[in-house]
Amino acid sequence: MPLENPDSARASLVSRAHKALRGIETGAPVIARYAKTAPAGPGVYRMIDADSEVLYVGKARHLKKRVQSYARGAGHNNRIARMIADTASMEFVTTATEIEALLLEANLIKRLKPRFNVVLRDDKSFPFILIARDHPVPQILKHRGARNRHGDYFGPFASAGAVGRTINTLQRAFLLRSCSDAYFESRLRPCLLFQIKRCSAPCTGVISVEDYGLLVDEARGFLTGESDEVKRRLHVLMDEASLKQDYERAASFRDRLTALSHIQSRQGINPQTVKEADVFAAHQEAGQTCIQVFFFRTGNNWGNRAYFPRADKSLGVEEVLESFIAQFYDDKPPPRLVLLSHDVPSRRLLGDALSLRTGHKIAVTAPVRGEKRELVEHALINAREALARRLADASSQAAILGRLAELLDLDEAPERIEVYDNSHISGTNPVGAMIVAGPEGFIKGQYRKFNMRREDLAPGDDYAMMREMLTRRFSKLVKDKGEVNGWAAPDLVLIDGGPGQLGAAYEVLDELGLSEIKVAAVAKGPDRNAGRERLYLRGKEPMLLEPRDPVLYCIQTLRDEAHRFAVGAHRAKRKKAITASPLDEVPGIGPARKRALLQHFGSAKAVSRAGMADLAAVGGISAQMAKAIYDHFHERG
């Protein structure tokens, strides 16, 4: 049995001592009372501590028996013993079957992130290729998020880059449009994509809607695994054009065939017998687990991604993998075949649960031979290598953070670092940004941007922007008694700037009674060249680190990430301001009426000057709407 982590045990003892002082009973006696009234059928249970935080979410075929096993209070490993000792209450949800319990458990774990569960840390969704069918001339584009737009979805792809490359090649092969519907409707002549042979220009009638539909069908066939049939048809058409001496047309078919071959040659390992599958391979070392996921669709490898789920060190690789898969498919469509590196206990139950969700048979298997096993072994090698890199990075990162703590007089290596920067152009569209980092790298789910709200903010006043940003962040921290949205106070705050920004930061923290938070400002050298940054601390002379110092590189990386995020937020705000139209503010004016007005008058300024009779002459604009538009602009004038 693995030994209990001393820090974890100490924290648990302190927690129980505090609860005893507050008169809150926890542990096996509490669970025993819940066992008496626990439901007898399948369902999900939650174990909750004295602070109303969910400790653990579990499923059971028989809830009462599972709770009774906890109530015995003996024969458990250290993780379960700590969980039992901290439990102050329980909640139950019954389900019709154990399959439904498994699906509900996965949903709750992802939402609640309990401390004692395996938690999938997934900060973004997978990209898909979408052929949108909500327009007579379908569009091909990259798609993330809810699949609520009418069309055909293909994926998932492991990265946005893989989707972008595939779409570019598909455009050369099938000449499908990628422009927005608004851009499509406004075209009077073919755009550049037609000139470079990546679009068939249906916007201007170069190709008929019917013929364009055939291209869409070919693209859909290729993406659904009919690549050989699509290539065969293109070969036939190319040969026919050559026989008719229509060499230009034959060359276009040749180029499309070359593009299709290019897609298939980029996919890395392409299985011969597996057309559609996800491959999961898990490897454990030094108390951490890496799970590599490979995606195979239409017989092609569409990429892979490594995950490092949060899990107790005492959990075996099979338990981590089992819980991971259930959560992974909580918001993603599974393929018809799921291949595993380990034969998890609930493999058949997982297959039944995924089949129930999708409405068709999903096979979950741990192959032992053949090509399927080769795919799993390949993923397993990648999992081992990814975990080895992570452990090496974590070791060096821990050493760097320890050195940073010494440099800045911190009691220990920082667990949470917040970095602040702002961005504007001559004071316009000012945006502040906060990024967060820890021992395992950037915590992108906790990044925040701040749109400056103060009306008296002088354009370009960086100090005032810093004060507003920090006031909003830390006043909420004080209000919520040391924690905002589950975020503790930072161990270190880094400010992009010099002594002025440092002073502005401490003005805010001193006023809020948070002077104990360590703040450092990092400024570039006199020539603003990287490698000559100076560090400013309150009450100390500025520090200049050696150019090759790993701590300097760490600080530069943090500062540059904050700058990247701030500039990105500023550009998005500026783009929105540039593309905004006065017509957007008129009640009742939607995209169709806006387009009609702009096509009729040429500009929003011309619309604002038009009379009611001229406005009413525009298609789709009633007399009542014409009066509303006229009154809107003339009341403002």
What's the CATH number where 67 sits? 3.40.1440.10
Nearest of 210, 227, 209 to residue 218 by alpha carbon: 227
Q: Does residue 295 sit within a domain?
A: yes
Kindly tell me if the per-residue pLDDT of 576 is higher than 80.
Answer: no
**Band of the pLDDT at 443, cuts 50, 70, 90?**
confident
Q: In a 10 Å sphere around its CB, with 0-12 CB exposed, 13-18 middle and 19+ buried, how is residue 265 labelled?
A: exposed
Answer with the residue of higher pLDDT: 11 or 184: 184
Per-residue pLDDT tens over the stretch 504-537: 999 999 988 888 899 999 887 655 555 677 889 9
The better pLDDT of the pair 574, 193 is held by 193
**291 and 323, same domain (yes or no):** yes
Instruction: Give the end of a domain, one of 337, 372, 389.
Output: 389
Residues 426, 460 contacting (CB under 8 angstroms): yes
Pick from 519, 524, 526, 520: nearest CA to 534 = 524
Average pLDDT of span 108-119? 91
Q: What is the DSSP letter of 313?
A: T
Residue 486: domain span: 417-569
Domain C-terminal end among 569, 594, 612: 569
**Distance separating alpha carbons of residues 621 and 632, to the nearest angstrom:** 15
Boundary residue ending a domain (265, 290, 320): 265
User: Taking a C-beta distance cutoff of 8 angstroms, is the pair 373, 340 a contact?
Assistant: no
Torsion angle of the four alpha carbons 60, 61, 65, 68, in this order, in degrees rounded to the nearest 10: 0
Specify whether the CB–CB gap between 299 and 398 falls below 8 A.
no
User: Is the model more confident about 53 or about 592?
Assistant: 53
398 falls within a domain: no
Decide which of 227 and 353 is more confident. 353
- 575 occurs within a structural domain: no
Question: How do beta strands 428-438 and 492-496 pair?
Answer: unpaired
Which CATH number do you get for residue 474? 3.30.420.340
**Same domain for 494 and 518?**
yes
- pLDDT above 90: residue 89: yes
Across the range 49-55, mean pLDDT stands at 91
Residue 589: inside a domain = yes
Q: How far apart are CA 338 and CA 261, in angstroms?
A: 27
562 in the same domain as 421: yes
What does the angle CA 118 – CA 121 – CA 124 come to, to the nearest 5 degrees? 150
Question: At residue 361, does pLDDT exceed 80?
Answer: yes
Residues 385 and 445 in one domain: no
Phi, psi of 143 (to 5 degrees): -140, 135
Confidence label for 106 from pLDDT (cuts 50, 70 and 90): very high
Q: Are residues 442 and 362 in the same domain?
A: no
Residue 410 resides in a domain: no
- Confirm whether 595 is domain-assigned: yes
411 belongs to a structural domain: no
Query: 216 and 295 share a domain?
Result: no
Averaged over 330-338, what is the pLDDT?
88
Looking at the fold, whether 424 and 558 belong to one and the same domain comes out as: yes
CA 287/CA 317 separation, integer angstroms: 10
Is the confidence at residue 624, as pLDDT, over 60?
yes
Shared-domain flag, residues 425 and 381: no
Is 195 found in the same domain as 327? no
Q: Are 559 and 522 in contact (CB under 8 A)?
A: yes
Q: Can the peptide bond before residue 127 be classed as cis, meaning omega within 30 degrees of 0?
A: no
Q: Is the pLDDT confidence value at 1 over 50? A: no
Is residue 230's pLDDT more than 80? no
3-state helix, strand, coil in the chain (%, to 5): 50, 20, 35
Looking at the fold, whether 441 and 465 belong to one and the same domain comes out as: yes
Residue 482 confidence (pLDDT): 55
Taking all residues of the chain, what is their mean pLDDT, rounded to a whole number? 83
Is residue 407 assigned to a domain? no
Name the one residue in this structure whose structure tokens are 């917040």.
418
Q: Which helix (H) or strand (E) holds 109?
A: helix 98-112
Residues 614 and 502 reside in one and the same domain? no
Q: Give the per-residue SS3 of 205-242.
A: CCCCHHHHHHHHHHHHHHHCCCHHHHHHHHHHHHHHHH
On the 0-12 / 13-18 / 19+ scale of CB atoms within 10 A, 404 is: buried
Inform me whether the pLDDT recorded for 371 exceeds 50.
Answer: yes
Counted domains in the chain: 5
- Residue type at 522 in one-letter notation: V
Model confidence pLDDT, tens digit, residues 472-491: 888 888 876 655 555 678 99
CA atoms of 578 and 6, how far apart (whole Å): 57
- Considering the domain architecture, whether residues 77 and 140 belong to the same structural domain is answered as no
pTM: 0.67
Strand partners, 286: none
- 498 pLDDT exceeds 60? yes
Percentage of the chain with pLDDT > 70?
A: 86
CATH number reported for the structural domain that contains residue 363 in this entry: 3.30.420
